[in-house]
Amino acid sequence: MTDRPNFLFIITDQHRGDYLGCTGHPVLKTPHIDSIAARGRRFDRFYVANPVCMPNRATLVTGRMPSAHGVRGNGIPLSVRANTFIDLLRAQGWRTALLGKSHLQNMTEHAAVQKRPPPAPERAAQPEGLEEAWKDPYGDWDYGQEHPSRWQAEERLKLRLPFYGYEHVDLCTGHGDQVGGHYYQWLREQTPDADALRDPKNQLPHGYICPQGIRTAVPEELYPTHWVTERTLDWLDAMKGGEKPFFAMVAYPDPHHPFTPPGRYWNMYDPADMPVPASFAERNRPVPPTVEWLRERRADGSAVLTSQTPYAVDERELRESMALTCGMIGMIDDGVGRILARLEQNGMAENTVVVFTADHGDFMGDHGIMLKGPIHYQGTTRVPFIWADTPDRAKPGANATLSGTVDIAATILDRAGLEPYWGMQGRSLMAQTEGAEDGDAAVIIEDDSQRPELGFDHSPRLHTLVTRDWRLSVYDGVAWGELYNLADDPHEMDNRFDDPACAKARGELFERMARMRVALVDRSPLPMGRA
């Protein structure tokens, strides 16, 4: 029976690897997610391919690195020409559903920051259609399906299906209490004052000062996390007794900022109880220019505190942000508990593989900064990954093998007994889910921002190599870099990039990065012949 299992795939947004009870958080309680880990395999060194939403979510569904699937950073939709592992599951008989956040297309209609440079005065501009390396790179497909303006209609918007392999979609866009998509259409059906409830000017009274901490007036039963849970329960009920197996991606938009836990979840955790990270007070030696720039902007009052860009925080702001984040995760955990209970009630648990992960993390006070950006501290790059196989095959425990988002697609296809398509770059982790360890594994993390930030006069690009003992980060266009001995310095406070004592290790890591980059050069499509 379990040779064609169901897959319940739960993913959260901007959720650090150490923000679960089962991964060691000293205050946060997540009993339901912990129960998945208790009967499955917890991966303690699991890394993203890129520490922002769109590129890593595209890696998740394709099993390919951003440099291969083309979503180098936020703002580039995944081409519908790209195969996904969901396409393969659907073609082989699985029912497929997305319940929550996609972010494989742009969720805003803001113009891109990165622009094509103007032609030199002495040269003629490119004719229309010849501006890019590829003719008509996006084709005539509708890549605006997640745009906010599409969700203003009263009637339920019908997406063009299948949507990257999903035959059923209940879509969320956005974050916190500002979520759009099908959720927003539903919210307006439930209450005539939906927009007033979501207006920060109408938030409930509170004494918090942390940036983006908003005590939403949206009640728990109307909050996006509740909606995702309810849509999942409805879909599981619809699948009950079905002859085909299913793949359901349950994609919560929390705990991504703004920090808006509703109702009782606002006060679920006390900021005074929050553990300040070791690197918050001690900081780096020497300080990377990116972090120093963030501190200087906050000190002189020029920091932007209301957008997606990172910022420096003081201790009170940090503790409040941490407590609110824990409240948002607490609500997710309650939803996960209800979903797991419904699997049992519907008789599905015996034949369902349950997976839990996140799309990327958050600095959350590491080195005194918040949110995410092109700095590869492990707070943003290491995420939770839990694989709980069917009861007849589950082998509980923890695994320290370095692995990551790029490996998820191959692992699910392997468990489903399906051959991956040519060009998939991740590897199956089925052996690791059963207890095998690979102590020599390493991961590559890519990053390619479209706007100058963090003190760069150009759009920052960097690649990072993480091995068992080291983290090496190399930035384009600058002489400095980052090198941390994670075995001796797990909080990444001693940058050894220019330390003569680490010259040999640095050289070996550069060589390993180069060899891994060669191995990651895209080999799809296959040749047509021998020429």
Neighbours of 257 (CB within 10 A): 26
DSSP annotation string for 375-402: ---HHHHB--EEEE--TTT---EEE---
CA distances from 180 to 57, 74, 176, 288, 518 (A): 18, 18, 10, 37, 41
Q: Residue 216: inside a domain, yes or no? A: yes
In a structure prediction context, what are the per-residue pLDDT tens digits for the chain, which is 531 residues long?
568 999 999 999 999 999 999 999 999 999 999 999 999 999 999 999 999 999 999 999 999 999 999 999 999 999 999 999 999 999 999 999 999 999 999 999 898 888 888 888 899 888 888 888 888 888 888 899 999 999 998 889 999 999 999 999 999 999 999 999 999 999 999 999 999 999 999 999 999 999 999 999 999 999 999 999 999 999 999 999 999 999 999 999 999 999 999 999 999 999 999 999 999 987 668 889 999 999 999 999 999 999 999 999 999 999 999 999 999 999 999 999 999 999 999 999 999 999 999 999 999 999 999 999 999 999 999 999 999 999 999 999 999 999 999 999 999 999 999 999 999 999 999 999 999 999 999 999 999 998 889 999 899 999 999 999 999 999 999 999 999 999 999 999 999 999 999 999 999 999 999 999 999 999 999 999 998
Q: Residue 474: inside a domain, yes or no? A: no
Q: Which residue has the tokens 């590829």?
A: 134
User: What confidence tens digit (pLDDT) does each residue in 74-96 have?
Assistant: 999 999 999 999 999 999 999 99
Within a 13 Å sphere around the CA of 99, how many CA atoms are in the beta-carbon half? 25
Q: Residue 208: inside a domain, yes or no? A: yes
Neighbours of 352 (CB within 10 A): 23
DSSP annotation string for 44-101: SSEE-SSSSHHHHHHHHHHSS-HHHHS--STT-PPPTTS--HHHHHHHTT-EEEEEEE
Q: Residue 138: inside a domain, yes or no? A: no
CA distances from 460 to 121, 139, 243, 382, 394 (A): 27, 28, 50, 20, 42
Q: What is the C-alpha separation between 132 and 513, in angstroms, rounded?
A: 29
Exposed / middle / buried, residue 135 (Cβ in 10 Å: 0-12, 13-18, 19+) = exposed
Q: What is the C-alpha separation between 281 and 315, in angstroms, rounded?
A: 9
- pLDDT score for 120: 87
Q: Structure tokens of 193?
A: 């004052």
Q: What is the C-alpha separation between 210 and 204, in angstroms, rounded?
A: 15
Answer whether 65's CB lies under 8 Å from 49's CB: yes
Q: What is the C-alpha separation between 366 and 184, in angstroms, rounded?
A: 34
Q: Which of 40, 159, 67 is nearest to 415 (CA)?
A: 40
CA distances from 427 to 167, 357, 404, 423, 526 (A): 26, 17, 10, 11, 19
Answer whether 323's CB lies under 8 Å from 271's CB: yes
DSSP annotation string for 87-112: HHHHHTT-EEEEEEE--SS-SS-PPP
Q: Residue 319: inside a domain, yes or no? A: yes
**Residue-number span of the structural domain to which 173 is assigned:** 6-110+143-437
Answer whether 475's CB lies under 8 Å from 497's CB: no
Residue 278 belongs to domain with CATH number? 3.40.720.10
Q: Residue 136: inside a domain, yes or no? A: no
Q: What is the C-alpha separation between 102 and 161, in angstroms, rounded?
A: 14
Answer whether 403's CB lies under 8 Å from 46's CB: yes
- pLDDT score for 94: 98
Neighbours of 310 (CB within 10 A): 24
Count: domains in the chain: 1
Cα 347 to chain centroid distance, Å, stands at 31
Q: Residue 466: inside a domain, yes or no? A: no
Exposed / middle / buried, residue 43 (Cβ in 10 Å: 0-12, 13-18, 19+) = buried
DSSP annotation string for 439-496: TT--EEEEEE-SS--TT-SS--EEEEEE-SSEEEEEETT-S-EEEEETTT-TT--B--
Provide the β-strand partners of residue 8.
248, 354
Q: Residue 97: inside a domain, yes or no? A: yes
Helix (H/G/I), strand (E/B), else coil: 195: helix
